[in-house]
């Protein structure tokens, strides 16, 4: 009798357990999104393994080329997902990390490489995968740097290897070149050039030893200009006239090659037809030559690629529009990138693949901020948003462009006539959608001609061809119109990543 009861009880318990298991299975079936996430990870890992087998992954890692790695994963990870590739050594990230909120917002896959990387130190390639991306300002600080004698005109900004900021600018009240930095923690300003009537159209660069180099214009009289150059490589400032004998030194732009040699582009506006002018000291002394023909050379911007070839963008007033020149074949070749209305206030930057990116103003009505690149092997251009020019472009560690520019609003409201000026900032994650907003209100400008020329924004440390080090913030210099005090904005970004 007892055995029968026990058997019945055990049977009842067994049935009850099966019943509860069935309930649990139907109540909590496997979630399809879990399978998707596992599949995303497996596919990303498969892509990295395949790339490693070809030998390309190690080559890309050796040069911190996260863009090439990312593009190689296109056929493995669905296009509607976003991803960021980061390379690490045993202590730090070597490329820019995303500010991710983990949990369900993102997943990551790591792939480890050992081999000939700095005495066989390992490298980790980590792929972050996430949904939609939104961004907001983590912090924006605007600081007055130079309030002396209208000291904010024609400013240019650069960052050294210690993430310290250096700004060259023109004090119109004293007609002097001024240089400011925060290397000691607070802002200090000095006058590098003792000559009178100097400092217009400044451009600044930092070399591999953190020495500062500045190009600018000496304007002794109306209709006359000379190209000036200053550096502090000896521990103190020395300056010299580089190019003289006409209407020279307008719209200067400076860059430094991997040998710390200096290259400067500027406008030769001498009568008989203006030209793009190029100077360098690669042989120890300065040599200058006209590069591109009649009515060109204005709003020039110069950059050096990883092979020490020189690239220059500029504007031609007579029909051509935005022009681009390089000496990659051993001699200068020039071509029109975009015609007629596009090209004023040009600014150029080069990415890690030696592709060219140019921002400028499209002076059609209304006027637009314009962006061009040759990343596909040919030039493509697009209008981004309303602008009045003074553009400046940089490329971040992910080869994405960031552009500062001047924009204004003129119109009427209930309070009457409005004339408001802003420093604007635009960036993109995918080259198709641009995010733009105002960085700072700069007053009601009666004149905006002297805000800056192509070097008002910085993220890459130095302005040298071999630099692969980047600041974690965007740095912008600008004047506070109409007083023209020199201002500095440091912008840090926070990102919100959508769930998978």
Element (H, E) at 475: strand 470-480
Considering the chain, what percentage of its residues have pLDDT values greater than 90?
Answer: 49
Q: Look up residue 454 and give its two tokens.
A: 């192509």
- In this prediction, residue 372 carries a pLDDT of 97
Among 75-79, 107-111, 194-198, the range scoring the smallest mean pLDDT is 75-79
Band (272; pLDDT cuts 50, 70, 90): low
The pTM for the full model equals: 0.74
Band (106; pLDDT cuts 50, 70, 90): confident
Rounded Cα distance, 158 and 208, in Å: 13
Tell me the pLDDT tens digit for each residue of 389-409. 899 999 988 889 999 999 876
Q: Which residues of 310-337 are buried (b: 16+ CB within 10 A; e: fewer)?
A: bbbbbbbeeebbbbbbbeeeeebebebb
DSSP string, 202-238: EEEEE-TTS-EEEEEEE--STT-BEEEEEE-TTSS-E
Q: Torsions phi, psi of 233, nearest 5?
A: -65, -20
Band (209; pLDDT cuts 50, 70, 90): very high
Name the DSSP class of 196: S
Q: Can you tell me which residue has the tokens 């061809």?
A: 465
Band (442; pLDDT cuts 50, 70, 90): confident
Band (6; pLDDT cuts 50, 70, 90): very low
Rounded Cα distance, 295 and 316, in Å: 5
- In this prediction, residue 16 carries a pLDDT of 59
Identify which of 218, 61, 54 has the alpha carbon closest to the alpha carbon of residue 124.
61
Kindly compute the dihedral angle of the four CA atoms of residues 379, 384, 387, 389, in this order, to the nearest 10 degrees: -30
- In this prediction, residue 102 carries a pLDDT of 46
Mean pLDDT in the chain?
84
Evaluate if residue 43 carries a pLDDT over 60: yes
Evaluate if residue 297 carries a pLDDT over 50: yes
Q: Tell how strand 287-292 and strand 106-113 pair up.
A: unpaired
Evaluate if residue 318 carries a pLDDT over 60: yes
- Separation in Å, CA 163 to CA 135, 282, 343, 469: 23, 27, 31, 10
Q: Contact, 402 vs 392, CB < 8 A?
A: no
- Residue partners of 219: CB distance under 8 A and separation at least 6: 197, 198, 200, 225, 226, 249
Identify which of 154, 217, 147, 250 has the alpha carbon closest to the alpha carbon of residue 478.
154
Any bridge partners for residue 159, and if so which? Answer: 165, 461
């Amino acid at each position: 009798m007892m055995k029968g009861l026990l058997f019945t009880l055990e049977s009842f318990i067994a049935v009850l357990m099966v019943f509860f298991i069935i309930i649990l299975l139907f109540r909590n079936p496997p979630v399809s999104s879990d399978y998707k996430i596992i599949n995303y990870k497996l596919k990303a890992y498969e892509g990295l393994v395949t790339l490693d087998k070809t030998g390309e992954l190690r080559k890309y890692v050796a040069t911190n080329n996260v863009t090439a790695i990312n593009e190689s994963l296109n056929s493995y990870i669905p296009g509607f997902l976003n991803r960021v590739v980061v390379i690490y050594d045993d202590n730090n990230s070597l490329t820019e990390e995303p500010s991710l909120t983990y949990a369900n917002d993102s997943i990551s896959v790591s792939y480890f490489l050992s081999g000939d990387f700095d005495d066989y130190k390992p490298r980790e390639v980590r792929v972050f995968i996430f949904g939609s991306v939104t961004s907001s300002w983590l912090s924006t600080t605007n600081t007055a740097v130079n309030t002396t004698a209208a000291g904010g005109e024609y400013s240019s900004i650069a960052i050294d290897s210690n993430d310290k900021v250096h700004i060259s600018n023109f004090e119109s009240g004293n007609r002097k070149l001024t240089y400011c930095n925060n290397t000691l923690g607070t802002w200090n300003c000095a006058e590098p050039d003792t000559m009178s009537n100097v400092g217009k159209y400044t451009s600044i660069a930092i070399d591999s030893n953190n020495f500062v180099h500045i190009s600018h214009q000496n304007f002794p009289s109306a209709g006359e200009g000379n190209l000036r150059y200053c550096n502090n490589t000896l521990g103190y400032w020395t300056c010299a006239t580089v190019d003289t004998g006409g209407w020279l030194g307008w719209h200067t732009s400076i860059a430094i090659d991997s040998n710390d040699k200096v290259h400067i582009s500027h406008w030769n506006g001498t009568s008989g037809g203006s030209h793009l002018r190029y100077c360098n000291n690669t042989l120890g002394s300065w040599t200058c030559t006209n590069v591109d023909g009649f009515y060109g050379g204005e709003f020039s911007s110069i950059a050096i690629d990883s092979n020490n070839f020189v690239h220059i963008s500029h504007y031609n007033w007579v029909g051509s529009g935005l022009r681009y020149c390089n000496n990659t074949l051993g001699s200068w070749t020039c071509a029109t990138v975009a015609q007629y209305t596009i090209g004023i206030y040009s600014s150029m930057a080069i990415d890690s693949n030696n592709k060219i990116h140019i921002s400028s103003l499209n002076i059609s009505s209304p006027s637009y901020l314009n962006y061009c690149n040759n990343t596909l092997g040919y030039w493509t251009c697009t209008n981004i948003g309303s602008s009045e020019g003074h553009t400046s472009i940089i490329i971040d560690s992910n080869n994405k462009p960031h552009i500062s520019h001047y924009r204004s609003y003129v119109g009427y409201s209930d309070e009457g006539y409005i004339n408001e000026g802003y420093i604007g900032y635009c960036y993109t994650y995918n080259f198709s959608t641009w995010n733009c907003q105002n960085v700072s209100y700069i007053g009601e400008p009666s004149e905006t001609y002297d805000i800056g020329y192509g070097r008002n924004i910085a993220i890459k440390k130095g302005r040298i061809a071999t630099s692969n080090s980047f600041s974690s913030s965007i740095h912008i210099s600008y004047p506070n119109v109409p007083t023209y005090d020199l201002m500095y904005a440091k912008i840090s970004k926070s990102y919100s990543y959508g769930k998978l």
